[in-house]
Amino acid sequence: MTTEFYWYLPTAGDGRSKAFDQLAPANDTPNATIRDLRKSHYTNIDYITQVARAGELTGFDGLIAPDDVAGEASWIVAGLIARDIKRPTIIAEFSPGAGSAVYFAKKAVTFQRYSGNRLGWSLATSTNAVTRKALGDFVADTDIARRLEEFLIVSKGVGSSDDFTFKGEFFEVLKGGFVGPLSGWQLPEISLSGETSEALEISAGYGDVHVFELGTADLAAKIARLKALTATKGRTLKIALKARIFAHDDLDRAALEAKRSGFEDDSQTLTGDYDSLAEDLLLLGELGVDRFQLFAPHSLETTYSIGEHVLPRIRQALRKAA
C-alpha cells in the first residue's frame, strides 16, 4: 500500500502570521521566491514559503494552497512556491465559478510546462450563498454540481483536443483547444469532494482524487461505494482524507495544544503523540484512504514535527508490511 501525505499551506494565516507584516529588518531582504527586493517587510507570503520548504524538506508528497475567502489567492501562492519548491505536487484550490473553464485549462497547461507537471486542481464551490455572492458568484445551490460537471467537460475537452466544441448552461466553447507549445501537456490531477450521491457520481466520472473529511459518518462504506461506482465506469481514483492535526512527543501536551486552540474532542481533529498518530493514520489507511491532507495551527512547527517524526514511522510500518 502506498500512502501519500499532503500539507495545507496557511494562505489565511495560522493564528500568528499577521504579525509578520509589521516586522522590519535592518537590511534589505530579497525574497527568493518572487525575486523582488522589498526593503522593510517580511510578510505572510514569506511565511507560506517557509512552510512549503518545510514540507518539501520533511518528505511531504504535496502542498495545497486553499481557496479561503479571507486568504491569499491560491493560484498566486501556487505559482510563487513552484519556483522555490522542486519536488512536491502543488494543488491550487478554486471554484469553477471563478472564471472560464478554457482559461483555467490554459493557465494549468502553462503551469505544467514550467513546473514539470506538478500542478493539481482542487475544485470546490462554497455551499454558503452569501459567501458566493460576496465573490461575485450568484449560482443557485441546485446548479453547483451541474456547473462543476460542465467545467470538467470543457477543461478536459480543450486539454485533449484542438477542435473541441461544447454548449452548456454555464460554459460554451467553439472549436477550442491548444496548439503549438501548449499542446500535448497533461491536465492537472483533479481533486473533488462531497458526500451526496451527485458528488460521488461526478467524482466517479471525472475525478482523480476524492476528498472526505475526518469524522465523515460511515466513511468506510462511502469509500467502498465510491470505488465500486468508479470501477463501473472503467476508471480508478484515489481517496483522500482531510484532517486537522496536533502532534507532540508528549500526549498530554498535544491534548493541551488542541484544547487551547478550541479543538478538543473535535471530530475533524487528530491529536496525539508521534506513535499514536502514526497508528491512527495507519488504521485510517486500512479503510481505503490513499492520501492524507493535513493542516494545523502554527503550521511551520507542525509541518516539521509531522514530517520528521510521524511520516517516517508510517512509512517504515508500510515497508515492513509490504
Q: Mean pLDDT across the stretch 256-275?
A: 96
Q: pLDDT confidence of 41, banded at 50, 70, 90? A: low
pLDDT of residue 46: 86
- What number does CATH give the domain 4-15+44-321? 3.20.20.30
Mean pLDDT of the chain: 92
Does the pLDDT value for residue 199 go beyond 70? Answer: yes
Does the pLDDT value for residue 300 go beyond 80? Answer: yes
pLDDT of residue 38: 53
Closest CA to 50 of 66, 35, 33, 34: 33
Q: Cβ contacts of residue 24 below 8 Å, gap of 6+? A: 40, 41
Domain residue ranges in the chain: 4-15+44-321
DSSP per residue over 103-151, as a string? HHHHHHHHHHHHHTS-EEEEE---S-HHHHHHTT----GGGHHHHHHHH
Q: Mean pLDDT across the stretch 253-278?
A: 96
Global pTM reads 0.92
Does the pLDDT value for residue 20 go beyond 90? Answer: no
Please write the tens of the pLDDT for every residue from 231-248.
999 999 999 999 999 999
Cα–Cα distance for residue pair 251/178, rounded to 1 Å: 54
pLDDT of residue 44: 82
Does the pLDDT value for residue 27 go beyond 60? Answer: no
